[in-house]
Chains A and B, each alone.
Chain A
Amino acid sequence: MSGSGKGILKGLGITLKHFIETYTVDRKEGKNRYFTEEGILSRRTPDTKGVFTVQYPEEKAPLPEAFRYIPFLVYDVGEDGNRDIRCTSCGICAKVCPPQCIWITRRTDEETGKPMKEPSQFMIDVDICMNCGLCAEYCPFEAIRMDHDYEIANVDRMKHHIFDLEKLLKPASYYKAIRPVQVEREEAEKREKEAKKEAARAAAAAAKAKKDAENNS
């Protein structure tokens, strides 16, 4: 071996510094460093030092809004307490899904036999799903979204791993709770669209009134 061993000593100095920092930082920042939200956040900043561990399950790393796991379906709660499923079974998510893990049965009207704008069944095989988020990205009705719930380990995949409509449906309030910024943006877009429509309608009405007035005169 070449050299005097200075390089090794220097390296050991660095590891020692890291070791000591775990104590000094804990000392300085006090009890709030662990098991509090600000404590967890302080261990994720670009200037973090000392202990880096998130003590799951007592502590959980905060999920960014964009985080995606398995998809879920959003329903609104109607005035009479009904579940108002947003999905119109247009099939875009099933078409765009890269591993083709979405199956949708469109509901047909029992009397007329015509297809209706809602699914009678919606299935996702989570053993195939790649959590890519394309279904949510291209859904035009804000009906399918990516969930934040990752604690879904279980003991029997044959029983539990094909998610059906019942398992996939979650209320709009849940969607708003996990993705507030996105919901805000979508609502703003909707309002804007409505306003535009309203303006167009008003303009059309005004034009018509003007025309009528001209015709009358």
Chain B
Amino acid sequence: MAMDEINKAGVTIPPELQGQIAITTLDKIYNWSRSNSLWPMMFGLACCAIEMIITAASRYDFSRFGMEVMRPSPRQADIMIVSGTVTKKMVPQIVRLYNQMSEPRYVLAMGACASGGGPFKEGYNVVSGIDKFIPVDIYIPGCPPTPQALLHGLIIMQKKIERQKLSDADWYKKDVDNEIPVPILGPDLIDPRKYALIKEQTHKPAFQVVEEVQNGDE
């Protein structure tokens, strides 16, 4: 099966050599090996982490996809499965972990909470989705997604990786800095990219803020 998958360079192989050699493109062989050895980071946040562990355990066993090596260190991991509610108190650490992962790196938001805050979205300590801070590749709805739903998401992730091209890969380009500024815990969570906005809003006369919220614009 693997042979067929790689052998798609568009060159016909003479009959006597069929099954012995494969002609492929660099992109394909590179992506094929990458997508079949995705090492997740051993990193759980909440309820979804339990389902992630179950996915790694014997019934669903994601080592069938080359993902059995869960790495506790972000340096050795390819994919971060954000499995659970992202709280304001935890988000600086998550961003720091993401910054420490080496390229190419992928993020999978598992479950409603990681995608957009989930049932706890209205809470005062909950971040409305990890994509407010780090780029997310795949979202899996569900609360929690069952192990099979997670596997489905991971398979989609593999397909996404297989479509990438070396020529426009971000991580081989010069002067692309993907370092994300780490949020700070102040009177509330502070995103360093939003200093100007925060200052502008907090220094407004009080009635104006109320009016704008009612009008629903940013």
> So, do A and B actually touch in the complex, CB under 8 Å?
yes
Give the interface of A toward B (CB within 8 A): 52-57, 60-61, 69-70, 98-101, 125-131, 150-157, 161
Q: Are A127 and B129 in contact (CB-based, < 8 A)? A: yes
Query: Within 8 Å CB of A54, what residues of B?
Result: 59-60, 148
Q: Are B152 and A129 in contact (CB under 8 A)?
A: no
Indicate which residue in B120, B152, B160 contacts A57 across the interface (CB closer than 8 Å). Answer: B152
A100 to chain B, nearest CB (A): 8
Q: Report the Cα distance A55→B120, complex, angstroms.
A: 33
A54→B146 CA distance, assembly (Å): 13
A161 with B148: in contact, given A99-B118, A127-B118, A153-B153 (CB under 8 Å)?
Answer: no
CB-CB under 8 A from B198, the residues of chain A are none
State which size class the interface on B falls in.
35 or more
Given contacts A70-B141, A155-B160, A161-B139, contact A128 B119 (CB under 8 A): yes
* Contact indicator B138/A127 (Cβ below 8 Å): no
Give CA–CA (A150, B143) in the complex, Å: 11
Q: How far is the CA of A45 from the CA of B147 in the complex (A)?
A: 19
- Pair B138/A153 contact, Cβ less than 8 Å: yes
- Nearest Cβ on chain B to A102's Cβ, whole angstroms: 13
Beta-carbon contact of A52 and B58 below 8 Å: yes
Measured between C-beta atoms, what is the minimum distance from B160 to chain A in Å?
A: 7
If A56-B60, A70-B141 are given as contacts, then 7 extra A-B residue pairs at C-beta distance below 8 Å, sorted by A number, are A70-B142, A129-B141, A130-B119, A150-B142, A152-B149, A155-B139, A157-B131
Please, what's the 1-or-0 string for B132-158, where 1 marks a CB less than 8 Å from any CB in chain A?
A: 000011111111011111011101100
Measured between C-beta atoms, what is the minimum distance from B85 to chain A in Å?
A: 11
Instruction: Tell me which of A53, A153, A155 has the highest count of chain B C-beta atoms within 10 A of its own C-beta.
Output: A153
CB <8 Å contact, B112 and A127: yes
**B40 interfacial by beta-carbon distance below 8 Å:** no
Docked Cα-Cα span, A128 to B123, in Å, equals: 12
Residues of A contacting B: mostly:
loop
Please tell me if the beta carbons of A131 and B152 are within 8 angstroms of each other in the complex. no
User: Does B116 make an interface contact (CB < 8 A)?
Assistant: yes
CB nearest to A52 among chain B residues:
B58
Q: Which residues of A contact B27 (CB under 8 A)?
A: none
Q: Which residues of B contact A150 (CB under 8 A)?
A: 142, 145-146, 148-149, 152
Would you call B118 and A56 a contact (CB within 8 A)?
A: no
Q: Which residues of B contact A69 (CB under 8 A)?
A: 142, 146, 149
10 shortest interchain CB distances as A-B pairs:
A127-B116, A153-B153, A99-B119, A130-B119, A150-B149, A126-B141, A130-B143, A153-B140, A151-B152, A157-B139
CB distance from A132 to the nearest CB of B (A): 8
Find out whether the CB atom of B116 lies under 8 angstroms from the CB atom of A128. yes
**B64 in the interface, Cβ–Cβ < 8 Å?**
yes
Give bound CA distance, A57 to B112, whole Å.
22
* Distance between A93 CB and nearest chain B CB, rounded to angstroms: 15
Output the nearest chain B residue to A59 by Cβ-Cβ distance.
B148
B105 at interface by CB-CB < 8 Å: no
Taking A126-B112, A127-B129, A129-B143 as contacts, is the C-beta distance between A153 and B149 under 8 angstroms? yes
B129 A157 Cβ-Cβ under 8 A: yes
A-B contact pairs, 30 of them (CB 8 A): A52-B58, A53-B64, A55-B64, A61-B59, A61-B148, A69-B142, A99-B118, A100-B122, A101-B119, A126-B141, A127-B112, A127-B117, A127-B129, A128-B112, A128-B117, A128-B121, A129-B112, A131-B142, A150-B142, A150-B149, A150-B152, A152-B141, A153-B139, A153-B141, A154-B138, A154-B156, A155-B137, A155-B138, A157-B109, A157-B139
B145 CB → nearest A CB, Å:
7
B191 interface hit (Cβ, 8 Å): no
Q: A153-B140, A153-B156, A157-B129 are in contact. Are A130 and B116 (CB under 8 A)?
A: no
